[in-house]
Amino acid sequence: MARKEPEQTAAPFVQPDASLGELREAATHCTGCDLYKNATQTVFGEGPDDATVMLVGEQPGDAEDRSGHPFVGPAGQLLDRALVDAGIDRSRVYVTNAVKHFKWTVVRGRRRLHATPKTVEIRACAPWLRAEIDRVRPRLIILLGATAAKSVLGPSFRVTLHRGEPMPSELAERVVATVHPSSLLRIPDSEARERAYGELVKDLRKAAAGLEG
């Protein structure tokens, strides 16, 4: 009979009474799933520990993996612009990811290619995200793309069906999913890309309406 693999989870690393700073330090040692093996470092969330708004992305990309900071690469730059256009001050927003290690596959020259995290990896990393939400207690959580949405709203959630809609959740007053900024970077046609950008800004503005950024 096949032996059942032990569940991969970050849970043993997440101390229930730890502060956000202590969690960030503990996460540097996380081996809760295999993704730490190929990543340079853990990329934990950043921002004020009393932020009103929390943005959740998928996982660090190449630039984030090297620098140790979330959303500093091309997707982050696009997100910065979208936040400005939506009237949301990023310095008052907590920015994090559903998965804290960069998952990548093929090396082409020096390029590491992003690979989408599997459901088991998203689930394994969820205790970190839950702990961040618990410490920051944001009023609004914006989920950027399918991985973040699945982590918080469950594996059957579809961003394409419910983007921009406030979803029922005990985690915050408002939880809204929209597309990931990197999906815009992959649109080859510049007019279509600008339209998609306008839709993202609209979702962000609507999600934050009436809340202090």
The least distance separating ligand URA from the CB of residue 140, rounded to whole angstroms, comes to 18
- Closer Cβ to ligand URA, 3 or 177, answer by number: 177
The least distance separating ligand URA from the CB of residue 102, rounded to whole angstroms, comes to 9
For the chain, the straight-line distance linking the first and the last C-alpha, in angstroms and rounded, comes to 55
- Closer Cβ to ligand URA, 64 or 203, answer by number: 64
Which residues contact ligand URA (rule: CB under 6 A)? 57-61, 64, 70-71, 73, 75-76, 97, 182
- Closer Cβ to ligand URA, 2 or 131, answer by number: 131
- Closer Cβ to ligand URA, 129 or 209, answer by number: 129
Residue number, nearest CB to ligand URA: 57
The least distance separating ligand URA from the CB of residue 26, rounded to whole angstroms, comes to 20
The least distance separating ligand URA from the CB of residue 16, rounded to whole angstroms, comes to 26
The least distance separating ligand URA from the CB of residue 76, rounded to whole angstroms, comes to 6
- Closer Cβ to ligand URA, 58 or 132, answer by number: 58
